[in-house]
């Protein structure tokens, strides 16, 4: 083993795969296998292997930029920060604090997400903060809270998946989105378990399934209700479990019984024999799981859809038991931790509700402010973006690229351009950053230390491996300097460990309690599952162990956090009495007031936009393996661009024949919101009534030009996954 290697984690998806970084012979760093991390056991996808390419000066920002006479020009850090402080202060003075918006990202570390939420509420006094994680798993979170009283992506570790009897995977293509996780499904089958994949496309993941159900996009809710109807009709419910551990069954059962198999077949296109086979495969083993992802969640009825799949687990006794349960496959790198600690519009650190007086008092005490000074809940992500240029006049944006990633993207691009002032902190000049008045170049994953929380609820430590370029600063430095310029001299440290220790205090006693977790413990154990409270009797989180590490220098421009951690922590770093963390939730009770899981009665309803004569085809969107999210980083890596050079429109041969389109021909996809043009990719692996576009690219092939911003009434999730379009040949 290379003793100079730094153990850390991939900057991309929510697996947060373990990797080692070592000095490369020609400079920079290279990635090597880290087999000791249990999630990926050394395996990496192409994005993880090539992640160091984005650290190159060839592709990344290396100096602040300010807009003069319409052109972005290099500037000093002092000039850039002064310009931002002036812009935000002017808006607040002229229009009030809620005219200032703050928009974050699911890739920010826990420390950055925490500091950003605190900055918005304490320094700016604005309620208008949200983040792009709202577009990730907000529907699953809302459904989980309704049913279980708590939202954590997976309430069990990934290692449980191969040991269950059956997995229903709904709207996830792990082979493309999280390739190292596909091994868990392979091992499931090797162990004699069965896999059911629900997806309108026959993806590489669906090819592995024992049963592939291909519903019409937007009908996952009807499908889940039809399966529950059959479970009841065939006497497969676990009545003892329902009586002992749940409430609300009668109402949920009555709602499901209105969705008889033939009716569901007409809605979804999934045949009655397939429905019956899915019920048999799911119910016969002793244990089973349902895992959902963006397919059922990114709908205007996503919360109800996920709730229907949870009802399926509860009715069969498949939740809160070993090797059984419902879980959500979080997408973004820190999508879980990013919303737990304050950058979501309605939440305070520790998953506390902003409307809860006790929560406000607790967090305000940690922050040293009056609880009454904290603003209330603000707009959700799309609503915040849609209000730009009208109610919201200035925006501070960190770690997001809504010009590509937001629904109705052309409209959002226009709204960004209409702002009085826009400041963006990013590692590259993204399409959104290119519109800004000030752009700040910030450190990347390998250049800073911080924590993330993966899809299992496992809190992890990313460690700094290299020194950032001279012109680059951390996001924590940015917030520290802006807070000082806006009149708040204290409370925004640059040392990430110091920020994390405050986060621990703020989260103590909350649903997502991190108070028993320290940097040294994470370095020793490789990750700790929340909730992990501090030991009883400790005066505060810092008293749970003598675990403080070397303090970083006071100079916020100097980031030496690589020096924080010893390579081999001593055996006494985790003392007796420390909470072990919680890998498996709900085994004894659910997080509801009475400890019972709650059935939520739901019924099928149509998508916000159904096909008609003018727009007769359904569009669904998703990812490809070589690109990530808005592509701001992966599109700058040559190897990844060679594998996935641009957008495409996947369509069935029957649709292509009607258009007279051949494979590779340019076609236009048109919705009520705009037009996108890309080459046709003709395949029998998609439904004839559906087309698919990946959403990683800007320009004329931007898929999100087309998507519908219709919002789920509970989660405020836009309906990315289905809208009505027509497809035209481009000659």
| Residues in CB range of 556: below 8 A, 6 or more apart | 473, 474, 476, 477, 480, 481, 494
Indicate the number of domains in the chain: 3
DSSP state, residue 290 = E
What pLDDT, in 10s, does the model give residues 457-484? 999 999 999 999 999 999 999 999 999 9
Residues 147 and 274 in one domain: yes
Q: Is residue 27 a part of any domain in this protein?
A: no
Model confidence at 542: pLDDT above 70:
no
Task: Give whole-number Cα distances, 561 to 108, 193, 425, 467, 541, in Å.
Answer: 17, 45, 20, 9, 21
pLDDT value at residue 331: 82
pLDDT value at residue 574: 47
- The answer to whether the pTM exceeds 0.75 is yes
Give the span between the Cα atoms of 394 and 71, in whole angstroms: 19
Model confidence at 158: pLDDT above 50:
yes
Specify the range with the lowest mean pLDDT, choosing from 1-5, 111-115, 166-170, 367-371: 1-5
Residues 648 and 633 in one domain: yes
CA Rg, the chain, in Å? 25
Q: Is residue 225 a part of any domain in this protein?
A: yes
What pLDDT, in 10s, does the model give residues 621-651? 999 999 999 999 999 999 999 999 999 999 9
**Quick one: which H or E segment has residue 283?**
helix 272-283
Q: Is residue 25 a part of any domain in this protein?
A: no
Model confidence at 559: pLDDT above 60:
no
Domain interval for residue 298: 138-329
Model confidence at 512: pLDDT above 90:
yes
**Quick one: which H or E segment has residue 86?**
helix 77-95
Task: Give whole-number Cα distances, 656 to 621, 622, 661, 666, in Å.
Answer: 18, 20, 5, 11
Q: What is the mean pLDDT of residues 700-717?
A: 98
Model confidence at 237: pLDDT above 60:
yes
| Residues in CB range of 536: below 8 A, 6 or more apart | none
Give the span between the Cα atoms of 549 and 518, in whole angstroms: 10
Q: Which of 65, 81, 122, 75 is nearest to 485 (CA)?
A: 81
Q: Is residue 598 a part of any domain in this protein?
A: no
CATH assignment at residue 257: 3.40.228.10
**Quick one: which H or E segment has residue 650?**
strand 649-651
Token digits of residue 664: 């590779």
Q: Is residue 537 a part of any domain in this protein?
A: no
Band the pLDDT of 705: cuts 50, 70, 90: very high
Give the span between the Cα atoms of 379 and 636, in whole angstroms: 33
Domain-terminating residue out of 292, 311, 329: 329
Secondary structure E strands in 246-332 = 246-247, 289-292, 325-328
Q: Is residue 579 a part of any domain in this protein?
A: no
Residues 460 and 351 in one domain: yes
Give the span between the Cα atoms of 629 and 622, in whole angstroms: 9
Please report, for the chain, how many H helices and E strands are present, in that order: 23, 30
Residue 358: how many other CB atoms lie within 10 Å: 11
pLDDT value at residue 558: 43
Band the pLDDT of 537: cuts 50, 70, 90: low
Q: What is the mean pLDDT of residues 390-408?
A: 97
Give the span between the Cα atoms of 476 and 116, in whole angstroms: 9
- The 3-state DSSP class for residue 634 equals helix
Q: Is residue 577 a part of any domain in this protein?
A: no
Residues 178 and 207 in one domain: yes
Residues 169 and 243 in one domain: yes
pLDDT value at residue 26: 79
Give the span between the Cα atoms of 665 and 656, in whole angstroms: 10
Give the span between the Cα atoms of 490 and 364, in whole angstroms: 15
Residues 128 and 142 in one domain: no
Domain-terminating residue out of 465, 498, 528: 528
Residues 252 and 345 in one domain: no
Model confidence at 564: pLDDT above 90:
no
Give the span between the Cα atoms of 450 and 476, in whole angstroms: 11
What sign for the dihedral angle of Cα 628, 477, 19, 53? positive
Residues 211 and 286 in one domain: yes
pLDDT value at residue 545: 46
What pLDDT, in 10s, does the model give residues 239-297? 999 999 999 999 999 999 999 999 999 999 999 999 999 999 999 999 999 999 999 99
pLDDT value at residue 28: 84
Provide the mean pLDDT of the chain.
Answer: 93
Kindly give the pairing relationship between strand 166-170 and strand 194-198.
parallel
Residues 109 and 185 in one domain: no
What pLDDT, in 10s, does the model give residues 492-506? 999 999 999 999 999
Token digits of residue 527: 């990750």
- The 3-state DSSP class for residue 438 equals strand
DSSP state, residue 203 = -
Q: Is residue 318 a part of any domain in this protein?
A: yes
**Quick one: which H or E segment has residue 252?**
helix 249-257
Model confidence at 555: pLDDT above 50:
no
Residues 321 and 390 in one domain: no
Domain-terminating residue out of 329, 352, 371: 329
Contact 321, 587 (CB under 8 A): yes
pLDDT value at residue 565: 39
Residues 389 and 448 in one domain: yes
Band the pLDDT of 25: cuts 50, 70, 90: confident
Contact 451, 500 (CB under 8 A): yes
Token digits of residue 649: 């429109």
Residues 502 and 364 in one domain: yes
Give the span between the Cα atoms of 332 and 15, in whole angstroms: 9
CATH assignment at residue 666: 2.40.40.20
Q: Is 347 left (phi over 0), alpha (psi -120 to 50) or beta?
A: beta
Give the span between the Cα atoms of 227 and 112, in whole angstroms: 42
């Amino acid at each position: 083993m290379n003793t100079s290697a730094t153990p850390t984690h991939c900057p991309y998806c929510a697996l947060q795969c373990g990797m080692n970084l070592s000095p490369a012979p020609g400079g920079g760093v290279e990635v090597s296998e880290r087999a000791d991390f249990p999630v990926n056991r050394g395996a990496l996808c192409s994005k993880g292997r090539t992640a160091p390419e984005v650290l190159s000066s060839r592709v990344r920002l290396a100096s602040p930029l300010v807009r003069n006479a319409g052109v972005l020009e290099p500037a000093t850090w002092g000039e850039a920060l002064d310009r931002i402080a002036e812009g935000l202060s002017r808006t607040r003075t002229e229009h009030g604090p809620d005219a200032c918006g703050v928009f974050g990202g699911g890739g920010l570390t826990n420390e950055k997400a925490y500091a950003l939420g605190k900055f918005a509420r304490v320094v700016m006094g604005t309620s208008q903060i949200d983040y792009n994680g709202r577009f990730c798993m907000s529907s699953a979170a809302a459904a989980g809270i309704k049913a279980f009283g708590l939202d954590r992506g997976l309430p069990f570790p990934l290692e449980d998946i191969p040991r269950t009897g059956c997995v229903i995977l709904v709207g996830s293509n792990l082979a493309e989105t999280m390739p190292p996780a596909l091994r868990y499904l392979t091992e499931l089958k090797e162990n004699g378990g069965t896999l059911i994949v629900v997806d309108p496309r026959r993806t590489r993941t669906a090819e592995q399934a024992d049963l592939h159900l291909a519903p019409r996009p937007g009908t996952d809710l009807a499908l889940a209700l039809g399966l529950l109807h059959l479970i009841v009709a065939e006497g497969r419910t676990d009545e003892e479990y329902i009586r002992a551990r749940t409430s609300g069954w009668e109402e949920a059962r009555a709602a499901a019984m209105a969705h008889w198999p033939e009716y569901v077949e007409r809605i979804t296109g999934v045949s009655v024999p397939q429905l019956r086979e899915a019920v048999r495969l799911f119910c016969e083993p002793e244990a089973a799981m349902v895992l959902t992802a963006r397919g059922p969640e990114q709908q205007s009825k996503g919360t109800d859809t996920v709730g229907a799949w949870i009802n399926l687990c509860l009715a069969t006794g498949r939740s809160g038991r070993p090797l059984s349960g419902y879980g959500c496959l979080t997408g973004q790198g820190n999508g879980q931790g990013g919303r737990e600690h304050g950058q979501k519009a309605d939440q305070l650190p520790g998953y506390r509700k902003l409307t809860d007086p006790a929560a406000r008092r607790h967090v305000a005490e940690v922050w040293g402010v009056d609880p009454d000074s904290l603003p209330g809940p603000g707009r959700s992500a799309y609503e915040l973006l849609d209000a730009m240029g009208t109610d919201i006049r200035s925006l501070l944006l960190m770690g997001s690229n809504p010009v590509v990633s937001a629904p109705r993207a052309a409209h959002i691009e226009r709204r960004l351009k209409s702002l009085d002032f826009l400041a963006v902190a990013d590692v590259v000049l993204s399409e959104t950053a290119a519109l800004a008045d000030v752009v700040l170049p910030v450190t990347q994953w390998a250049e800073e230390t911080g924590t993330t929380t993966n899809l299992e609820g496992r809190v992890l430590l990313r460690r700094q491996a290299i020194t950032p370029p001279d012109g680059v600063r951390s996001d924590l430095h940015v917030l520290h300097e802006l807070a000082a310029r806006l009149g708040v001299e204290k409370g925004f440290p640059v040392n990430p460990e110091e920020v994390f220790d405050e986060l621990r205090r703020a989260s103590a006693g909350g649903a997502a309690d991190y108070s028993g977790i320290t940097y040294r413990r994470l370095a020793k154990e490789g990750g700790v599952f929340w909730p992990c409270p501090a030991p009883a009797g400790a005066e505060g989180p810092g008293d749970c162990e003598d675990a403080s590490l070397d303090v970083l220098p006071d100079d916020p421009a100097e980031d030496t956090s690589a020096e924080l951690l010893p390579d081999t922590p001593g055996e006494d770093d985790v003392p007796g009495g420390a909470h072990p963390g919680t890998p498996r939730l709900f085994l004894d009770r659910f997080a509801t007031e009475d400890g019972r899981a709650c059935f939520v009665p739901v019924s099928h309803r149509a998508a916000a936009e159904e096909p008609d004569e003018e727009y007769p085809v359904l569009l669904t969107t998703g990812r490809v393996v070589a690109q990530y999210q808005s592509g701001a980083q992966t599109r700058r890596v040559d190897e990844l661009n060679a594998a996935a050079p641009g957008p495409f429109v996947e369509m069935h041969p029957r649709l292509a024949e009607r258009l007279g389109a051949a494979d590779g021909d340019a076609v236009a996809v048109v919705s009520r919101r705009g037009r996108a043009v890309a080459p046709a990719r003709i395949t029998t692996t998609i439904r004839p009534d559906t087309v698919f576009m990946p959403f990683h690219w800007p320009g004329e092939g931007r898929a999100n030009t087309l998507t519908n911003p219709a919002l789920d009434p509970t989660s405020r999730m836009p309906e990315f996954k289905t809208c009505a379009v027509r497809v035209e040949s481009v000659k």
